[in-house]
A and B are shown apart, each in its own frame.
Chain A
Amino acid sequence: MSSGANTRTGNDVQQHPPFEHQDDVTTLITEHSGHTRPVPRFRDLVCTAACLLIAGIVLLQMDAITDRGSGLSALNGRFWPTMLATALIVTGIAIALVALFKKTPAVSDQEPISVPGMLRLTAAIILLAAYVASWGTIQFALSTAVVTGVMTYLFGGRNLTSWLYFPIGLGILFHLFFIVLLKVPIQ
C-alpha cells in the first residue's frame, strides 16, 4: 500500500514515495515549485563568468589597499579579499566543470521568463525610479497614488478598484505610516 504524500504540481496531485534521506526532502521542496525543467549547460558558464568578473574586479582593486605588511601577512588588508577572490575563481571553475562534464543536464525549479513579464518588469523598474525621483518634489501621498494606479494597471488590474480606490487607499496608508507614524522626511 502506498503511503506517499500528495503534493501539488500545477493543478495535479501526485504521489511521492516515503522519504529516506534529506536529499529526498530537498528534491520534494524543489519539485513543489511545480516547475522543474532541464536548463542548457551554457547557463552555468554565465555563472562562472559572473564569479570570475567579481574576482577580477577585486584583484584589480587590490593595489588601492594600503600594504602594511609584506606579501600576504595576516595583518595585511589584502590577505582576506585575496583569499576570497581565489575561492570565487575556484568555485567559478568548478561550476563550469560540473556543467560541462555532468552526465545529466542541470535542472532548474524556476519557471521560464515570459516576454510580457520582461516588458512589465522593465516598465516597473522605470516607474519605481521615477517614483523615487519624485520624492521631495511631489506630495508623497499623491505620487504614491499615481504610481500605484499605473503599476496596478501595468500588472493587469483593469477595474475601478484597481486603478482608483486601491491607489488612493494605498497613498493615504503610506502617508499615515511613513510620514505621520514613522516621521520619515520623505516629502
Chain B
Amino acid sequence: MNGNPITEGLLAVLDPTVLIWIVVGLLIGMLVGAFPGITSTMGVALASGFTLTLEPLQGLAILITIYVGATFGDRLPAILLNTPGTPASISSTFDGYPLAKQGKAGLALTTSAIGTAVGLLAGVAVLAVAGVPLAAFALQFGPAELFALVVVGITMMVGASAGRLWKGLAAGAFGLLLATVGRDPITGDQRFTFGINELNGGIPFIPVIIGLFGLAEIMNQIIVHRKGPTAKPVTQLGEWWPSKPVMKRLRKPMAIGVATGGVIGLIPAVGGDIAGIVAWENARKASKHPEEFGKGSLEGLTAGDTSSAATLGGSLTTTLALGVPGDSVMAVMIGSMLVWGITPGPALFSEQPDLVASIVGIMVIASIVTLILSLVRMRGVAKLLQLPKHYLWVIVLLFCLGGTYSVQSSIFDVIMMMVFGLIGLFMVRFGFPPGPAVLGLILGPLAESNLRRALVIDGWATVYTSPIAVILLAVAVLALTVPPVRGFMKTRRELKATPTVEEAVSEQTRV
C-alpha cells in the first residue's frame, strides 16, 4: 500500500543511519565553519567525494548538514577572532567582536546561534511555501525557457562577483566549454576527447569541484603564507544566556533578518554574505539605538546572522524547484545529486515529492540539533581556533586525494582533480571567479541541448517569441549591467562631490 509521499519522506529521515549521518555532517560542518579559510563550498566539495558511496538520502543528509553546521560554526571565529569563518559571517564581525571585547562573547555566541536557528527554520518555511508553486510554474517551461533559465543562473553568479564582469563571463564560457567534452547531447558523437577513453563520458564533476574549490584554495593559502604572529581569540566568554527583556528586544531584528534573507536567498547566486550585511544595515535603520551598531549591538549581530542563515532555504528552493543553484554550495550539491541520478528542477517536486520532504526534514532536524550543540559545545569548539594551519592544510590536501579516488576508484579522476586544482589556483590568482565555471560545467548540457532543440523548432524566433524566455534573458542582461552601471554612477557622484583644483584654490583665496 502506498502512503502519503510527504509522510514517507519525513519518516525516511528518522532512519537511524540517516540520523547518524546528520550528526556527523553537523560536526564536520561546525568545524568547517569554525576554521577561517575553509569555506562551506570547500567542505561540501570535499565531502561530495566520499558521500557518493552512500545511499542518496544519507549522502544528501551529510552535504546539507555540513552547510547547516558551517552556518553555525562560522560565527565563532567572527565573534572571537574578528575573522569570519566563511564569507556568510562577515556581518557577525561588525558587532560580535566588539561584544566579545566588552566581555560579552558568551552572550554574543548564544544570541547568534538562536538567530541562526530562527533564520534556518524560516528558510525551511520559504522552501515549503514557495517550492511547489515555483516548480509548478517552471513545469510549463519548454526548451527556450530552460535555456534562458540557465543563462540567468550563470549571469547571476557572474553579476554577484561585481567588478569582475568580463572575467566572470569568461569563467562561465570556460565551464560551458568543459561541458562540451564527451558526447554531443543531441547526436551522441564524441567531442574534444583527445583520444582519452576516460573523457568519453565527459569531464567528471566531482574531481573538478574538489580541485577548484578544495585543492586550489589550500594551494593559494600555502603559496602566500608568511611567518608572523597569529591572532589570539577572545577567551573570556562572560555571561552566556540573554535575559527575557534582551530576547524581547531581539524579535524585531530577527524579523528583519528573516524577511531580508528569505527574499535575497531566492535570488540565484546571491548568498548569505550579502544578505547578512544588507539585513544589518536594515536593522540599523529601523533600530531605536542605531548608534550602538558596529560597537557591540546585539540587534545588529542578530539581524545579520538571522538573515544570512535564512538565505539557505531560498537557495535550496531555487536549486530544487528550478535546477538553478542558489549559491556556489548548491552548485556543488547539484553535481552530487546528478551523479546519484537525482535531477533538480521542476519535475523533482512531482516525481520525487518524498525526497523534497526528506530534505525539509533534514533541514529542520539539523537546525534544532545544531542549535543545541552550539549552545552546549561552543566553549569546547572555541579552543580549536588556535589549531595551527599546517594541520588543516595536510588534512584537506589528503582528503582531496582520498575523496576524489573514492568516487569511482579512478587514478584518472585524481589526476583531473590535481589539474583542476592548478587551473583553480590560476583562476584565484588572476581574478577569475570559479563559481561560474562550475555552474557552466554542471548546467552546460542542459543549456546546449535546450538551445539546439529550441532552434530546431523555429530558429531564434522560438526564443524571442517566448515571453518567459524574453523576461528571463532581460533579467540576465540586468544582472550583468546593473552592478557596473551603479559603480559608474557612484564614481561620478563621488567625483562631482570632490572639489576641482580651481574650486579648491578659489575657496582658499576667499578664506
Seen from chain A, the residues whose Cβ lies within 8 Å of a Cβ on chain B are 1-8, 11, 13, 15-16, 18-23, 25-26, 28-30, 32, 43-44, 46-47, 50-51, 54, 58, 61, 64-66, 68, 74-75, 77, 79-81, 84-85, 87-88, 91-92, 94-95, 98, 106, 108, 110-114, 116-118, 120-121, 124-125, 128-129, 131-132, 135, 144, 147-148, 151-152, 155-157, 162, 166, 170, 174, 177-178, 182-186
Judging by beta carbons under 8 Å apart, are A182 and B53 in contact? yes
B residues near A (Cβ < 8 Å) are 50, 53, 82-84, 87, 90-91, 93-94, 97-98, 160, 162-163, 166-167, 169-170, 173-174, 176-177, 180, 184, 186-187, 189, 191-192, 194, 219-220, 222-227, 231, 273-274, 277-278, 280-281, 284, 290-291, 293-295, 388-391, 393-395, 397-398, 401-402, 405-406, 409, 411, 414, 418, 426, 428-432, 448, 451-452, 455-456, 483, 486-487, 490
Please, how many angstroms separate the alpha-carbon atoms of A99 and B93 in the complex? 34
A155 adjacent to B393 (CB under 8 Å): yes
With A1-B291, A58-B192 already in contact, the answer to whether A47 and B223 are too (CB < 8 A) is no
Say whether chain B's binding surface is mostly helix, strand, loop, or mixed. Answer: helix
- Partner among A65, A75, A91, A174 whose Cβ is within 8 Å of the Cβ of B173: A91
User: Which residues of A have CB within 8 Å of B87?
Assistant: 29, 32
What is the bound-complex CA distance between A108 and B431, given in angstroms?
7
Q: A3-B291, A110-B428 are in contact. Are A157 and B490 (CB under 8 A)?
A: no
CA distance A147 to B399 in the complex (A): 13
Q: Are A174 and B402 in contact (CB under 8 A)?
A: yes
Known: A7-B93, A29-B277. 5 other contacts (CB 8 A): A26-B160, A54-B177, A80-B451, A132-B405, A151-B390
Q: Are B53 and A3 in contact (CB under 8 A)?
A: no
Chain B residue nearest to A30 in the complex (CB): B163
Cross-chain contact B224 with A114 (CB below 8 angstroms): yes
Task: Find out whether the CB atom of B166 lies under 8 angstroms from the CB atom of A131.
Answer: no
B367 vs chain A, min Cβ distance (A): 25
With both beta carbons as reference points, the residue of chain A lying nearest to B176 in the complex is identified as A84
- CB pair B406–A77 under 8 Å, yes or no, is no
Which of B167, B222, B405, B432 touches A186 (beta carbons < 8 Å)?
B405
A32 and chain B: residue at smallest CB distance = B90
Q: A29-B90, A77-B191 are contacts. A85–B402 as well, Cβ < 8 Å?
A: no
